[in-house]
Amino acid sequence: MDTTPNSPAGRGHAPPGPEELPPGPLTTAELAAALTDPRDRGRYVRIWHGVYRREDQADDLRLRSVALARIWPEGVLRGRSAALLWGDDSAPVGAPPEIWLPSTRKSRGGRVYRYGRMPPASVTELGGLRVTTPLRTCRDLACDLDREDAVVAVERLCAVIPGLAGRLAAATAHPSGRGARRFADVVAAVEPRSQSAESSRARLRLAAAGFAGFHEGACIRIDGRPVVLPLADPALRCTVVCPDALSAPRPNPPRGASPVNGVGVGVERCRSTLRRAGWTVLVVRGPSVPANACRPHVGTVPPDAGGVLHALRSWWPGTTLLPPLLGEPVSDPLGMWAVRSA
């Protein structure tokens, strides 16, 4: 009798594909109860002692955060873990999961345990998991991370949680408690209109290098048409386009607005129009160098587009500069239309 996996007799004995097996994280007991075939159990990889994932699942912060919540159901996911579940996409690769526990436990490698006071009002449920509220998550990020990472993470949360920026402003109006001043400093630096994590980093690093005029969400008009600029300093007539902003459209753009970020004929035409109007366009390319690796000192770069290029290349060596097109008619040489959007 033909018992090959594709024959009628052997078809029922073919091992299931990975997608047919229950996804992790699973405890040892759950794995034993869900799978009776030893071959299927061989398709699981250990995350930590007693916790497993399916071999085709990404071993990332999300999976490990869920695993940590399964191990400690009385705990509350916080920090980077809570921010990720709320929608923050700025966590670095390899960031450890974080959880608050009501009492001390033996620390384990690759996990962050936190203790202390956790008011009930700071805890909620998200997807069946106990996590800190967005407001408490932002405060924890401000206290735990360096300033740049904290501002970037809070801006990403503001981008996905309606009304969070207003709640943050109200919470910092009268700072009190542990880390209140640091929290207020981070919130003061937040730009709710930020389009991406890299765009936020570029703005913060340019400000640290002496270029504090760069802001996000500027809208100008050329030949009667609105043009949305992802990151720009109208006084310098300079705009910066960051890599992960290429697929991040600005919410509620003006009707008929031309895109500056992205790819395609329309984008190139818009950039050419900006350059003919006397603007410099800087396109950030490649991975970012860590902020503390080679930060330019304030005053070491000239206050013009060339200085901006020098500053950006300190962190993104592949940054390119598209200068204004000389000899072209300039629509508005004085830049009277270069005003920030409301």
* pLDDT value of position 174: 83
* pLDDT value of position 190: 96
Specify whether 219 is located in the same domain as 316. Answer: yes
Strands 51-54 and 44-48: antiparallel
Q: Which positions of the chain have pLDDT values less than 70? A: 1-19, 244-266, 289-304, 327-342
* DSSP helix/strand/coil, 241: strand
Cα separations in angstroms, 14 against 7, 9, 37:
10, 11, 12
Residue given tokens 């097109």 in the structure block: 325
Specify whether 211 is located in the same domain as 316. Answer: yes
In tens, the pLDDT along 13-62 reads 556 666 689 999 999 999 999 988 888 888 999 999 999 999 999 999 99
Specify whether 31 is located in the same domain as 155. Answer: no
Does 96 reside within a domain? yes
Q: How many separate domains does the chain show?
A: 3
* pLDDT value of position 3: 46
Which among 342, 284, 265 has a CA at the least distance from the CA of 273?
265
Specify whether 76 is located in the same domain as 155. Answer: yes
Does 12 reside within a domain? no
Question: Which residues lie closer than 8 Å to 274 by C-beta, 6 or more apart?
Answer: 222, 227, 239, 260, 281
Specify whether 179 is located in the same domain as 213. Answer: no
Does 320 reside within a domain? yes
Which domain-ending residue is among 165, 188, 211?
Answer: 188
Does 14 reside within a domain? no
Does 76 reside within a domain? yes
Does 55 reside within a domain? yes
Specify whether 202 is located in the same domain as 327. Answer: yes
Residue 46: which domain range?
Answer: 21-59
Does 15 reside within a domain? no
In tens, the pLDDT along 49-96 reads 999 999 999 999 999 999 999 999 999 999 999 999 999 999 999 999
Beta bridge partners of 44: 54
Q: Rounded to two decimals, what is the model's pTM?
A: 0.81
Specify whether 215 is located in the same domain as 172. Answer: no
Specify whether 202 is located in the same domain as 299. Answer: yes
Does 9 reside within a domain? no
Specify whether 174 is located in the same domain as 88. Answer: yes
